[in-house]
Amino acid sequence: MHPTDPNALGALPPAAVTAEVADLARRARAAGRALTRASGAQRTAALLGMAAALEEQASTLVVVNAEDVRDAGARGTSGAMLDRLTLTAGRVTDMARALREVAAQDDPLGEVEALTVRPNGLRVGRMRIPLGVVGIVYEARPNVTADAAALCIKSGNATLLRGGSEAHRTNAALVACLQGALVAAGLPADAVLALPSTDRGYILAMVQAEGLVDLVIPRGGEALIRFVTQNARVPVIQHYKGVCHVFVDRAADEARAIDICVNAKAQRPGVCNAMETLLVHAEIADSFLPKVAEALTARGVELRGCPETLRRVPTATPATDADWAAEYLDLILAVRVVPSLDAAIAHIEAWGSDHTESIVSEDYTAVSRFMAEVNSSVVVANASTRFADGGQLGLGAEMGISTSRLHAYGPMGARELTTRKFVVYGAGHVRT
């Protein structure tokens, strides 16, 4: 099915596909310019119209989606995957709610945080502007279609969407619905475009469209993300995985620590901001480990521990290095006793994925050092790792979580899809 070997570096799409995607990207760019020139009020009206259109067409969308789900089931797609693919009336309502939340946020465009005055009187500021054309490559979840379109429109970007092949009917119906609302709001339909095929050749053409596509965000499995990164010639922001840590310091409030550990591991184990490794300060291990083990075991969590852990929790099984690296996405937890804060930080540096780490401690210096020295994209004191989420952190919706440091680090909202140009105001200034 694929025109190229996904693992071959330097794979090139067929010329006709390159031309087709270039044409789409040019249409998207023109539409993006119209978005930029539209007022914030007009972009907000379009988002509200998109939310209403989704709700109006909910029953049609659910019927179309059922065909995708039926086909995927017939091809033997597994339960979790089928669940992600499935659209219900309730999920359409959730998508509409997310659109309204994005609509309600401040307009990021045009903002100049400060104008400073140079010694020669020249006034210098930076004005926030869109990136241009943003490509999104994702898999089965249809809500990504609406979220991505909403964040891009909010930030004045045109978007090129490439959803998973399992959801192709659903995504086509969603894009048509969103485009209708855009046109009704006086904005161009081309601001939200879908690639015409889910064939990987189209991804290749998009990620190699230098000068036509400004950013590609791959969301999904590690193989897809690697395919995009290794073949891209346009900028890519990605995250591979979340191996999140909670460090329970010797000065932790134990009851708080237990609540946080149970929440971080068991509230929703299948997501990237769930805890995968628990680090416990040796000085508190005798008291804390048996209690937290009991609470976690009661929630069905399997524990894999270092020798020091096994001594205090005989029901745990021995952990290997593979466990320190594991993103289980399941009710399994690696547990390690560390002799110090420094050892905890060193463990995170060695095994972490730059996603999210939390310290539980009442010690001022320990918290200060952890917050300063752990350079993951989200660093948390005395709260669950599960808060590493655009909505929870105040971004409205989220486009993904970046674990690469360039441009944006951590959850990305509409503002993270913008850049800043210099604006310089003179009075006939020339350089001497």
Residue numbers 240-299 binding its own copies by CB under 8 A: 253, 256, 259-260, 262-264, 267
Rounded to the nearest 10°, the torsion over CA 144, 146, 151, 154 is: 180
Q: Is 364 in the site for its own copies (CB under 8 A)?
A: no
**In the set 48, 183, 295, 383, which binds its own copies (CB under 8 A)?**
383
**In the set 377, 396, 413, 415, which binds its own copies (CB under 8 A)?**
377
Residue with structure tokens 């909910």?
A: 58
What are the beta bridge partners of residue 272?
Answer: none
Cβ nearer to its own copies, comparing 137 with 408: 408
Cβ nearer to its own copies, comparing 76 with 119: 119
Piece of 46-54, 68-76, 281-289, 403-411 that binds its own copies (CB under 8 A)? 403-411
CB of 64 to its own copies, least distance (A): 33
Piece of 4-12, 95-103, 187-195, 303-311 that binds its own copies (CB under 8 A)? 4-12
Piece of 53-61, 87-95, 197-205, 385-393 that binds its own copies (CB under 8 A)? 385-393
Q: Is 235 in the site for its own copies (CB under 8 A)?
A: yes
Count of residues that interact with its own copies, criterion CB under 8 A = 76
Distance from the Cα of residue 248 to its chain's centroid = 27
The tokens describing 218, both together, are 């791959």
Cβ nearer to its own copies, comparing 170 with 385: 385
**C-beta of residue 151 within 8 angstroms of C-beta of residue 191:** no
**C-beta of residue 272 within 8 angstroms of C-beta of residue 264:** no
User: What residues contact 253, with CB distance under 8 A and at least 6 apart?
Assistant: 360, 362, 382
CB of 366 to its own copies, least distance (A): 14
What amino acid is encoded at 336 in this protein? R
Helix (H) / strand (E) containing 101: helix 89-104
Q: Is 405 in the site for its own copies (CB under 8 A)?
A: yes
DSSP string, 200-237: HHHHHHHHT-TTT--EEEE-S-HHHHHHHHHH-SS-B-
Q: Is 37 in the site for its own copies (CB under 8 A)?
A: yes
Tell which positions 164-223 bind its own copies, by CB under 8 A: 210, 214-215
Which residue from 391, 395, 392 is spatially nearest to 380, judged by alpha carbons?
392
CA atoms of 40 and 28, how far apart (whole Å): 19
CB of 305 to its own copies, least distance (A): 23
Piece of 30-38, 40-48, 81-89, 331-339 that binds its own copies (CB under 8 A)? 30-38
Piece of 65-73, 174-182, 295-303, 375-383 that binds its own copies (CB under 8 A)? 375-383
Which residue from 203, 187, 202, 111 is spatially nearest to 149, judged by alpha carbons?
187
What are the beta bridge partners of residue 159?
Answer: 134, 192
CB of 5 to its own copies, least distance (A): 12
